[in-house]
Structure 1
Amino acid sequence: MQQNKYFKILARPTYGLVLRLFKYLYKGYKKVLEASLSKYLGNEYNSVQEVISILITPSIPCVVNGRPEIHSLVSHKHIYCYLLAIKSLLRFYNDVTVIVHDDGSLTKKDKHILKKHIKNINIIDRDYADEKINKILADYPNCRRYRDEYVNALQLFDFMLLCEANKIVSLDSDILFFKRPDALIDWLCDGKKIIHFWEQEPLGTREFLAKINLDECFLPICICLVCFYRETMNLDLLEQILSKIEKFDWWTGQSLYPILIKKQVWKDEPSFFDPSQYQDGHGFRNGQTARHYWLSRGTFNNLYLSDRKKIIKELLNGLNTVKYGKV
């Protein structure tokens, strides 16, 4: 009986055996690939098809230096989210310098992917940043304590202390741009006042300001997208404030930005992007210019996954892409 079964297998067409072998190997490969991708994007974003789609979108150049700088703190887990965020912006305007701050988790492969997809990108390694910033903060022990305890403190210190340009844009990885962001581009070209993403009640900000008796400094600001200046930094002021805080929180940095802005003299009061165009979870609706999805909270993951499919498709088809800025 076993012998007959053996001869039947041999009698099958070769292509049939090859096809069965291919299917077997593919199933195993797919599981390995999905497991690998889950390390990059988490379980919410482990679609093999979408990640591959992001990787085959065209590369976009930026300017090496000398232009307003777009700074982002990027992790290994969210590298593809960042790629889509920055590409969704650069397709409309790329006369900027793009800077990625490694949160300490980026691998060599991650950095290779970033350099391949965003031509002329500048990646600041975590070890290099720590060495430079620790020297700067040598006389500011509480600033150093906060930066050592919370990785997102790099958004506060490193963006301004390691920049070369006067104009800085803070950009998170969980933002997508759907059409030309005229207000942002106007600021990059000739803007004067600080302009920020509007959030009705930033998490923890009012409570933080109340504890240090600075309620008057409140701003409805979300640092997912902020256009500001290198001179916004004031280490003496930050050290004074942080010396009053025993325990820091994840939102400490976002709560400090309004103080830095309000306590300095500006020609104009800070402004904010139109919330009907630059949307967050308080009001998603049609006609958006940009959306911030709060991926760290996990509330709008499904909407994000749906929207990013649209952006991927547009990037692949070259839709809504204007002539690049001067490179």
Structure 2
Amino acid sequence: MLPRIVDWSWPLGKEIAGAPPIHVLTSGKDWRLAAWMLASWLQFSEHAWPIFIHDDGTLPKEASETLGKLLPGARIIDRREADAAVGPLLHAFPFCADFRKLHPLALKLFDVTHFTPGGRFLLFDSDLLFFNYPREILDWVAGGADECWFNEDAREGSLINAAEARGELGIKIWSRVNGGLCLLAKSAIDLDLCDRTLAQTSILSGDPWRIAQTLHMLCAARHGKGGLLPRTYEVSLGKRSAGNAISRHYVRAVRDRFFAEGLESLNTIFFPLETA
């Protein structure tokens, strides 16, 4: 079912004036998941959006060409372009620079912020899918507030506990932040805070897949505006999502459900004549 996304076509919908861009970091392994994710977002948000697709360094030419055809107007930023633009900006933040060189997920933090033209942006993971109208997100878009919002994790994922965050950084952490769906104010992203966190705390000893998520959480908590989206923006470990789920982030433990549940549901919407 995964390759069928090449047969999908852009739904009708006008872009919201001044809409914040959608960013997704993807790879040679996951780009088709990202295509399904973006298609589901466009389907259920009922609007067109500025889209930035970030290559983690493994995106093949076929993927870039296909994504360009599926998503006219999307900007695809290859890794060489990103390195040339962002690398020099991190000279003053050596621990951030080292983290970016070591792990591609760092691009979600540094590159997305740099390439965002306005003051706010949405950041979606490739393994996220939408199933209903995302009213709360569109209210955030329309409201213009410089708040940061995340979906709620199934369990605590921070690599820094409350005592360490308070003692080393003077920050009261936000609990159970998941970085698969983020609504972010650009002003919240503090490179000095990120550099100090990487230098002074135990964050680098934890799961490398959660470092950028923890840094996003710390920046948002320091910013002090926003919180967690309703649980209808689901992160769960069960076989099936709730019947009222607006979206589901299929984290590593349930990645198989992206295909067995998520694509099965969307296939009947995207290709109704073939699945009738």
TM-score (ref. length: structure 1)? 0.73
Deviation at 1:200, TM superposition (A): 4.5
SS of corresponding position for 1:195: strand
Matches of 2:163 and 2:98, distance apart in 1 = 19
Deviations 1:218-266 (A, max 9, x none): 33211100101111121122222222257452211111122211223x5
Stretches of structure 2 that go unaligned for 5 or more consecutive residues are none
Instruction: Give the counterpart letter for 2:54 in structure 1.
Output: H
Q: Is structure 2 residue 260 aligned with structure 1 residue 308?
A: no
Q: Secondary structure at the match of 2:230?
A: coil
2:9 is the counterpart of 1:58: yes
Query: How large is the Cα RMSD of the aligned pairs?
Result: 2.5
Alpha-carbon distance in structure 2 between the residues aligned to 1:208 and 1:162: 31
Larger radius of gyration: 1
Residue 254 (structure 2) pairs with residue 299 (structure 1)? yes
Equivalent residue, structure 1, for 2:272: 317
Q: Give the Å deviation of 1:72.
A: 0.6
1:14-93 matches, within 5 Å, as: 50-60=1-11, 67-92=19-44, 93=46
Query: What is the TM-score normalised by the length of structure 2?
Result: 0.86
Matches within 5 A, 1:152-167: 152-167=105-120
Work out whether residues 158 and 175 of structure 2, in 8 Å CA contact, stay in contact via their aligned partners in 1.
no
Change (3 A) 1:64 1:118: farther
Q: Is contact 1:54–1:84 with CA below 8 Å preserved after alignment? A: yes
| Partner of residue 125, structure 1 | 78
Alignment of 1:106-255 (within 5 A): 106-192=59-145, 193-207=147-161, 210=164, 213=168, 216-245=172-201, 247=204, 249-255=208-214
Query: Aligned pair 1:280/2:232, yes or no?
Result: no
The SS at the match of 1:226 is strand
| Amino acid aligned to 2:247 | A
Q: Structure 2 vs 1, CA of residues 208 and 242 (structure 1 numbering), >3 Å: closer, same or farther?
A: farther
Within 1, Cα distance between the matches of 2:16 and 2:71?
11
Q: Is the 8 A contact 1:200 1:220 kept in 2?
A: yes
Q: What is the one-letter code of the residue matched to 1:230?
A: K
